[in-house]
Amino acid sequence: MPERIHNFFAGPAILPYDVIKKSFTEAVNFNGLGMSVLEISHRSAAFDSMFTEAQKNMLEIMGLSNDDYAVLFLGGGASTQFCALPFNFLEKDKTADYVVTGGWSKKAVKEAKFFGNVNIAASSEDANFSFIPKRFDLTPGAAYVHTTSNNTLVGTQIKNFPQTGDVPLVSDMSSDFLSRKLNFSKFSLIYAGAQKNIGPSGVTAIVIKRSWAEKARREVPTMLAYTTHIDKNSLFNTPPSFPVYIVGEVMKWILEQGGLEAVEIANNRKAGLLYEYMDENSDYYRCTVTDPASRSLMNVTFRLPTEELEKKFIAEGTENDLIGLKGHRSVGGCRASIYNAMPYEGVEALVNFMKRFMAAN
């Protein structure tokens, strides 16, 4: 087996190889301190330097100011934010708008209903989430509007977010965070489980507008209150230190690539290669997203003529060092996750395999 195979898993997912190699070294000896980054105290100066640099670089990449936004690194996964968000900002007599574009946004809706009214502002569930809605039935004066920017299960991605005016816009960006240029200042809160695009499992990045955080409810359990973690700079309790270190190294890697402009160009090129091949051979490789404008740059979902062929495709892909091509268990089929760290050569290898497989089957 080669040193590196092509990893198409949806998450935990591929990381930049340079980051993996550096973390291997610093897992033994961090910054020449004679101890591992896994061992270092979160109250030490060396840890503080690493932690704050990761926060600073994330804001720089997003084009945001530390005066206006706080970056939090918390445990609990993005799923914890499904309840933390409404706990902080949804009063019982208020309504929050939710755009439902897949399984994860449905889970977010379920949690929000414990705290207040939920209006489904748009949904594509009746079409198996095969497209992103273009019209939104927004509630005047809503507590917030929640979106899920990218849907790993079904392979869709929001290209045009709702225009919410004075209503805070929130997005779960777990699977496409920092994969493209956006006007991030339009959002009052963004949360992202790291393990799909910016780091390993175990840490969730939250970017929250400070002025909105000040309006949060005060009757919230300490660990779920955003103000708790803003006031203590994510150090109210011991943070997931090693995952944060990896996220910090990925931030440096993004900057080295040329920032989000360069990253987006690379992602468009990779996705374009794969979608173009499937469109040219749609009688064999059928893209499950019916609206090309809704296609994800991160997760490409497709079907073959039969389930038997799909099983064979996935098995032979693994034999050819193309791992993780099985679709999510809830939808079946095949899926190639081509996050920031996936090199163009990996997608090229996949397309070449698809050509050989179709010719032989």
User: What is the SS3 string spanning 173-217?
Assistant: CCCCCCCCCCCHHHCCEEEEEHHHCCCCCCCEEEEEEHHHHCCCC
Q: Is 34 left (phi over 0), alpha (psi -120 to 50) or beta?
A: left
Which residue among 172, 209, 253, 270 is the active-site one?
Answer: 172
Residue of 70, 69, 118 lying closest to 90 (CA atoms): 118
Which residue among 97, 196, 209, 212 is the active-site one?
Answer: 196
Domains along the sequence of the chain with CATH: 18-257 (3.40.640.10), 259-360 (3.90.1150.10)
Which residue among 104, 212, 253, 326 is the active-site one?
Answer: 104
| Residue 196 annotated among the catalytic residues of the structure | yes
* Phi, psi (rounded to 5 degrees) for 135: -120, 140
Each residue of 178-209: pLDDT tens digit? 999 999 999 999 999 999 999 999 999 999 99
| Residue 279 annotated among the catalytic residues of the structure | no
Confidence of residue 222 (pLDDT cuts 50, 70, 90): very high
User: Would you say residue 1 has pLDDT above 60?
Assistant: no
Query: Percent of the chain beyond pLDDT 90?
Result: 98
| Residue 232 annotated among the catalytic residues of the structure | no
Each residue of 251-308: pLDDT tens digit? 999 999 999 999 999 999 999 999 999 999 999 999 999 899 999 999 999 999 999 9
d(CA 270, CA 249): 23
